[in-house]
Structure 1
Amino acid sequence: MKHSVATAAVLLSVLARASTAQAGDAVRAMPADAFIDTLGVGIHLTYMDTAYTNVRNVYDDLKWLGIRHVRDYPPGDRPPFSTYVFLAQLGIKFNVLTNPDFAWSVGAAARLNAAVPGSVVAVEGSNEIDNWPVSYHGLTGAAAGLAQQRDIYARVHAAPALAGVPVYDLTGFDTRKVESRAGSANYANQHVYPQNGEQPTYNSNGDRWMPAAIDAVKKYQLPMVITEFGYFSMPQSGWYMIGVDEPTQAKGVLNGYMDAAAAGVKRTYVYELLDEKPDPQNKDSGMHFGLFRNDNSPKPVAHAIRNLTTILNAGKTRRANAAAMRGSLAYTLSDMPVSANSLLLQKKDGRFVLALWNETPIWDRAIGKPVESPPARVGIDFGAKASRVDVYDPLVSTTPSASHRDVSQLAVDVPDHVILLEITAVGTPRL
């Protein structure tokens, strides 16, 4: 039986007292602010014939989403340097991606960080050298890219204006053939684009797009970023790099943001903020990756991200006392399928937010249509009573779909995308 997004997300009921679920060990919560800080998005200010020429829209979109981290090439002549300074002064943080003239790129990053201290949070090496090869000091292929990356690393760490700014690794080399990134990068870096319209982390056929990318760089023993991740909203059938419809894009991106944070990824940059150019006949997949359409109207994925950050930011004006901010919650999840995942967050006001999502199929690649699987009924035992539990579906609204008071056990139907349970533990200050 198929369920709509609205009904599949939040069918919540109190479990019978005879439930076998028992509260487990305390789970350490990730601060909600720290989670929001993992959210990034790619922009293209230098693409002067695209929707990015309107920098005010770029800023307004980022503010509307609740995202402040962007990835882009460095400022040059077009757009003017003042465009980057404008965004930086409004709190936008840049991961500066080096172009083939990496010495100039590092210098431009230093100039921006000097103009607005703290605006450059990283400098990234060459982009996908398997697709855009580089030549360097007589070398070609991966050898050129790896040699260039060592010099980028040295140049960044020698620049006084970039003191403390980390270097993200280049992308597009075969990690199986490279054993160390010492002297080359402070962060491992991967790109993740789930294929065949599949979920980011779990698929019953064995495809594990994000975990496979993470596993490939674990040997470097570095913190990690994902500097490109996403789906394009151009519904297609077939194999490999195929598009999905806009609601499915929203599910995949929201799940991917959560998957990455749950796996400890420092930051994930979704590709990209805006559909660059009009493509009404759906001939160019590259024009459909945006969170916003080319006319700057938000897609469902933009609404979902805004809803997510709005829910997590709600109540921040009042800080909880030390007792309420203990940072952990004892609970047990029962009947979680292998395809499901969870992440516990805590707001500044002391309330916890338990994110749950179940990565069942979302796209039928044979016919190019969305799939909605029945949700999984998951039991939650808090051990002690929670004074209130509100349930949200970020794909739908910032308004709770269900609210429960004075409960210690619940059952929730977990759909194929992220839902949020906001838990007010006993003793949390009233807002």
Structure 2
Amino acid sequence: MNHPLAALRPPLAALGMVIGLAAGLGASQTHADPVRAMPVRDFIDTLAVVTHVNYTDGAYVNVHNVADDLAWLGVRHVRDFVPGGSPPFDSYVYLARRGVKFNFLVRTNIDESIAQAAALNTAVPGSVAAIEGFNEIDNFPVTYNGLKGAAAGLALQREIYARVHGTPALTGVPVYDVTGYDPKLVDTRARSADYANTHVYPQNGEQPTYNPNGDRWLPAAIGSVKKFDLPMVVTEFGYFSMPQSGWYMLGVDEATQAKGVLNGYMDAAAAGVKRLFVYELLDEKPDPQKKNAEMHYGLFRNDNSPKPVAYAIRNLTTILNANMLHRATAASRDALAYTLADMPVSAFSFLLKKKDGRFVLVLWNETPIWDRANGTPLTSPPASVKLDFAASIRRVDVYDPLVSADPLTTYRNQRQFAVDVPDHVILLEITPGDSAGT
């Protein structure tokens, strides 16, 4: 196991936190200045997934499937343990040559772990994107020079940091922090980590950021390490697709898993998280009787068939990567003026920009998606949100990545219109009025 099955309820002090997301109860979101957009390439670089290439008795034994699945998704960043004795080192070289970028968790032997990471980065330059300290030292304790518990894990993290930054073959490779210690008891991560790190698993089938009962899973996790004033990663996040009922559970059906994961990716990017790793790529082993929740976190089932969440991620990256046949004349513009009216408190927006000059306005409404008492999905009516772009827009294509990579609706030469925002991410691809056509 590589994650907690019972994440703690966020502290009361953090429940009101929503970081970097735009929301307003029944009011307009009026922007005095145009909104600056994140480049699509930067957003796609935040998408990541956990793999277990080191597991040789399940779905991960077929390393070709791992590479093909990642390419099909349009995701290249993975989190895994550094190569060990099994599978062979060549498996990691193969993945790296297919474009996979590794965040490597260290093993117990730090020297060997760093040497293996350095060897891969030498064999395929740029394939090691980060080195991460020990995983969840509260669940998997370590010892060091007579120290135990968090003290040992924090001391080892300083060793990892020094060794990585002292290894020429890993020059420029950042160090992600250890997980599983109480940030409230630690004042600084200087000379210990380049990135703050946290894990979050929304409980009770709840949305990642907004829930009417006050739970703010992702913002609370981000808030817990914000004081370190470092860029941030979330190296585990997810839902397993084995429906559950009750309190402090993680299981939902496959359709709800797709909503939660897609919203989580967008919440994290909008909050400034450098990279969010969804747990995990593949259901590790068959579990037809659904007795082992651990076997159902995958984006793909054990037989390598895509779940709805895999289709949704592929649709998302396909839509974002698609460009016009001709570059837009407004390609140098990095911001867009718009107003959103009647946005509920549970709804969010985030602006992206394609390299051809078009914008993508992302909207999502984090209303309840799971009936925790009965263990069944919920669907709330969409919110009708009014958009005003301050000037006529040449074209707006509306996409729902849970449905298709093709537009569901197209608006032409309009300044104002209303759009229904559901409980999951939708995309409005905007061709400004001064842009060239396709």
Deviations 1:228-285 (A, max 9, x none): 0000000010110230000000000000000000000000000000000000111110
Residue in structure 2 matched with residue 243 of structure 1 by the alignment:
251
Residue in structure 1 matched with residue 411 of structure 2 by the alignment:
404
1:223 to 217, 226, 231: 231
Check conservation: 1:253, 1:301, Cα contact below 8 A: yes
Any unmatched runs of 5+ in structure 1? 1-18
> For the residues of structure 1 that align with 2:28 and 2:222, how far apart are their CA atoms?
35
> For the residues of structure 1 that align with 2:423 and 2:431, how far apart are their CA atoms?
25
When residues 21 and 87 of structure 1 are mapped into structure 2, their CA distance, relative to the original with a 3 A threshold, is closer
Matched residues, number: 412
> For the residues of structure 2 that align with 1:252 and 1:395, how far apart are their CA atoms?
11
Check conservation: 2:201, 2:250, Cα contact below 8 A: no
When residues 208 and 21 of structure 1 are mapped into structure 2, their CA distance, relative to the original with a 3 A threshold, is closer
When residues 425 and 219 of structure 1 are mapped into structure 2, their CA distance, relative to the original with a 3 A threshold, is same
How far residue 107 of structure 1 moved from its aligned partner, in angstroms, is 1.2
Q: How does 1:23-38 map to 2 (within 5 A)?
A: 24-38=32-46
Residue in structure 1 matched with residue 384 of structure 2 by the alignment:
377
Task: Tell me whether 1:169 sits opposite 2:177 in the alignment.
Answer: yes
How far residue 401 of structure 1 moved from its aligned partner, in angstroms, is 0.7
Task: Tell me whether 1:74 sits opposite 2:73 in the alignment.
Answer: no
Residue in structure 2 matched with residue 93 of structure 1 by the alignment:
101
> For the residues of structure 2 that align with 1:178 and 1:154, how far apart are their CA atoms?
19
> For the residues of structure 1 that align with 2:28 and 2:119, how far apart are their CA atoms?
61
> For the residues of structure 2 that align with 1:20 and 1:230, how far apart are their CA atoms?
32
> For the residues of structure 1 that align with 2:252 and 2:69, how far apart are their CA atoms?
23
TM-score, reference length from structure 1: 0.94
Any unmatched runs of 5+ in structure 2? 1-26
CA RMSD of aligned residues (A): 1.4
Check conservation: 1:43, 1:273, Cα contact below 8 A: yes
Deviations 1:117-148 (A, max 9, x none): 10001000000011000111110000000000
Residue in structure 1 matched with residue 291 of structure 2 by the alignment:
283
1:253 to 243, 247, 261: 261
Deviations 1:71-97 (A, max 9, x none): 100112211111111111111100011
Check conservation: 1:378, 1:414, Cα contact below 8 A: yes
2:206 to 194, 198, 207: 198
> For the residues of structure 1 that align with 2:317 and 2:306, how far apart are their CA atoms?
15
Identity %: 70
> For the residues of structure 2 that align with 1:130 and 1:429, how far apart are their CA atoms?
56
Residue in structure 2 matched with residue 16 of structure 1 by the alignment:
none
> For the residues of structure 2 that align with 1:401 and 1:170, how far apart are their CA atoms?
44
Deviations 1:283-328 (A, max 9, x none): 110000000000000000000000000000001775445x433110
> For the residues of structure 2 that align with 1:74 and 1:128, how far apart are their CA atoms?
16
Check conservation: 2:28, 2:340, Cα contact below 8 A: no
Check conservation: 2:331, 2:355, Cα contact below 8 A: no
Q: How does 1:247-326 map to 2 (within 5 A)?
A: 247-315=255-323, 318-321=326-329, 323-326=330-333
Residue in structure 1 matched with residue 130 of structure 2 by the alignment:
122
Q: How does 1:153-164 map to 2 (within 5 A)?
A: 153-164=161-172
Q: Could you tell me which amino acid in structure 1 is paired with residue 322 of structure 2?
A: A
Check conservation: 1:38, 1:267, Cα contact below 8 A: yes
How far residue 44 of structure 1 moved from its aligned partner, in angstroms, is 0.3
Task: Tell me whether 1:330 sits opposite 2:337 in the alignment.
Answer: yes
Q: Could you tell me which amino acid in structure 1 is paired with residue 227 of structure 2?
A: K
Task: Tell me whether 1:362 sits opposite 2:369 in the alignment.
Answer: yes
Task: Tell me whether 1:47 sits opposite 2:55 in the alignment.
Answer: yes
How far residue 334 of structure 1 moved from its aligned partner, in angstroms, is 1.1
Q: How does 1:57-68 map to 2 (within 5 A)?
A: 57-68=65-76
